[in-house]
Structure 1
């Protein structure tokens, strides 16, 4: 059973009604801020297309499905409120936290490997 960094009563309505997303345990369990976010095209209802990572996950970490889960976008916004202004970006958008400024900035979108 995962022990989340935020409890249910700490989740506030910051980005409601935006559907589901994928996020890694580096955010939800370890409490790290979102360091990389990418929006994939989606045809599934209630799937926002967003995937959120801390940005320091290795490929081995990402290959293990136990290290991520499906969450409401609002939940992840509570871990990193600065993502809320970027959530309307279209599919095929990506943002990375700039090490110098600490701000999320647009980066080149790379389609996932099939």
Structure 2
């Protein structure tokens, strides 16, 4: 499925500048289409100069889902921050950082990095 065929939880008009000009990231459709909160995030080596390396997951995606690139997309970090502003305090953490959300809170715990 091409990203433009997806029915996103937030419309373009609902996206506000929370962390503008941060670069790109990857997020699964469970976040952008289903509207689930981000429960797991990690920062990988960027693949180009606009990539931040951040990847965001709802934390319940099975391997087959994650391995199908149709179930994720490349987004501006600001867009994903609009879906879940709890990620904002962690965006400057270094490459190699993995975080897991504390259930029922906006706090993420570093599990690697």
Q: TM-score, normalised by structure 2?
A: 0.91
RMSD: 1.3
Q: How far is 1:99 from its partner?
A: 2.2
Matched with 2:32 is 28
Question: Where do 4+ consecutive residues of structure 1 move more than 2 Å?
Answer: 99-103
Please identify, of 74-83 and 95-104, the stretch whose mean Cα deviation from structure 2 is larger.
95-104
Q: Residue by residue, what CA displacement relative to the aligned partner does 1:8-66 show, whole Å, maximum 9, x if unpaired?
A: 01001111111000000000000011111100122511000000011110001111111
Report whether the alignment pairs 1:4 with 2:22. no
- Structure 2: runs of 5 or more not aligned: none
Task: Report the 3-state secondary structure (helix = DSSP H, G, I; strand = E; otherwise coil) of the residue aligned with 1:45.
Answer: coil
Matched with 1:94 is 98
Q: TM-score, normalised by structure 1?
A: 0.90
Q: What number of residue pairs does the alignment pair up? A: 109
- Structure 1: runs of 5 or more not aligned: 110-114
Report whether the alignment pairs 1:16 with 2:20. yes
Cα distance in structure 2, aligned partners of 1:101 and 1:9: 27
Does the C-alpha gap of structure 1 residues 26 and 90 become closer, same or farther in structure 2, counting only changes over 3 Å? same
Please identify, of 48-57 and 100-109, the stretch whose mean Cα deviation from structure 2 is larger.
100-109
Q: Residue by residue, what CA displacement relative to the aligned partner does 1:61-92 show, whole Å, maximum 9, x if unpaired?
A: 11111100000000000011010110000100
